[in-house]
Amino acid sequence: MGVITTAISLRADPVDEVIAKEMAKHHIPGLSLAIIQDGKIVKAQGYGVIEAGRPERVTVDTLFQAGSVSKSVAALGILSLVEAGKLSLDTDVNGALKSWHVPENEFTKVEKVTLRRLLSHSAGLTVHGFPGYAIDAAMPSLVQVLNGEPPANTPAIRVDFMPGSQWRYSGGGYTIMQQLVIDTTGQPFPEFMRSAVLKPLQMDASGYDQPLPAARAALTATGHLGGGKVVPGRWHIYPEMAAAGLWTTPSDLARFAIALQESFAGRAHPVISPAMTQAMLTPQKQDDGLGVFLAGKEKGQRFWHNGRDEGFDALMTAYVYSGQGAVVMINKNEDSSAVPRIMSAIAAAYAWPDYPVYHPPKAIADKEPEVTAKVKAIFAEAQQGRYDASLYTPELGAIIAKGVPGTFTQQLQAFGKLQAIELTGHRTPKDTRIYRYRLTYENETVTVDCVYNSSGKIAGMRFSPE
């Protein structure tokens, strides 16, 4: 009997190729992802290691800190209390708060802080985000965080413009929401979220416990700072749980996204009704829904949230109608847009509708090569730990002096030899000239915006990996 053979064409996964490239180029120790197609998780995979220099590999069960993606999951929990009639979206939250109250002031005389405004970052509240606390640091109570009292490391959370009048991102608002949940239910926040959201959605790996119990701490990735150093103690602790305290996996966040897709389509949801899901995914202020950001139009409409904790970055995006989406989590603070580029690769590979694909700007004709040569010289000098204060305004010069020599010089040295500089943009608003350059080093490509004032001094400089 003859032997039957089958020829199999092996083709590398284009998403894996992009991930390998981005992780190598930007020194990302570990990454985990989950991809949603047709309302199901079709790919879940870990890449790299849980900590630089250690052999343990990232798996689909490795826990990452979600950063501000915590807000989206927390929002679902408090909306379940609204659905149960225990809270209202549009009444003054001070009526339901017991342990602490939003201090009244001139901005709250007419318009009040409501739950809808907390969820959509339009309550007029301060404190953008939270740095967390080292594992051996003194830990504040939630009320101490709300009041900015020691040992809290952030200012008091207060109203400083009229609620409802404008949008401004406020992790502080979600911290008030956390207190609202505790006062309404009488339960610790992690316990409430476990029973109200995580268990019903089968997000079994996830939890808001801060700090983590030892058994779960053993399952975590280690956070890394932008320069690659390990976060002391491996990660920070966040008493601001609703805003930044979720430990989770991409697969669990994908289950969260799929549940919203299913509910929006009118199918059963174990936490909130389709009507409440539709409210959650309806713009409230700018492109902010109730706990998620919104983008795209018609069949390309999607909800998303990004996140950053000390040493961890995350991005979740999912389509409202097509049953597509993805979650990417890394154990490093990374400012080169590596995660968005990986998301763009997923979008291309899985034919996402109308997803914006990043394209680096093209070089333009350089009509002022003498300016380009000066900028090139500035970065060459900075790489050697030197700078010419006469080139800058006094304000910018004082900032430059802190980084050269110092962290900025160290960063430039890690990039290796400068190979090319290209002009990619030039505009002249009012009495200024703004030049945008691409600097290509051996190990990195960066974008630089250089602002000259009418006196010919450099008044601003923005520097970021491309």
Find how far residue 419's CA is from the centre of its chain: 31
- pLDDT one-digit tens code per residue, 345-404: 999 999 999 998 767 789 999 999 999 999 999 999 999 999 999 999 998 888 888 888
- pLDDT one-digit tens code per residue, 165-190: 999 999 999 999 999 999 999 999 99
Q: For 114-118, 195-199, 460-464, which range has the lowest pLDDT when averaged over its residues?
A: 460-464
Taking residues 201-223, what's their average pLDDT?
97
What percentage of the chain exceeds 70 in pLDDT? 97
Prediction pTM value: 0.82
Phi, psi of 339 (to 5 degrees): -65, -45
Angle at 92 (CA atoms; ends 86, 94), nearest 5 degrees: 85
Q: Please tell me the distance from the alpha carbon of residue 99 to that of residue 158, in angstroms, as a whole number.
A: 16
Residue 12: what pLDDT? 57
Q: Please tell me the distance from the alpha carbon of residue 232 to that of residue 230, in angstroms, as a whole number.
A: 6
Whose CA is closest to 146, among 94, 220, 88, 208? Answer: 94
Whose CA is closest to 411, among 389, 430, 439? Answer: 439
* Element (DSSP H or E) covering residue 433: strand 433-441
pLDDT beyond 50 at 9: no
Residue 7: what pLDDT? 34
Residue 287: what pLDDT? 93
Residues whose CB is less than 8 angstroms from the CB of residue 65 and which lie 6 or more positions away in sequence, other chains included: 223, 235, 238, 244, 246, 247, 307, 309, 311, 312, 314
Whose CA is closest to 15, among 341, 335, 257? Answer: 341
Residue 2: what pLDDT? 35
Q: Which domains occur in the chain, in start order?
A: 64-349 (3.40.710.10), 369-465 (3.10.450.590)
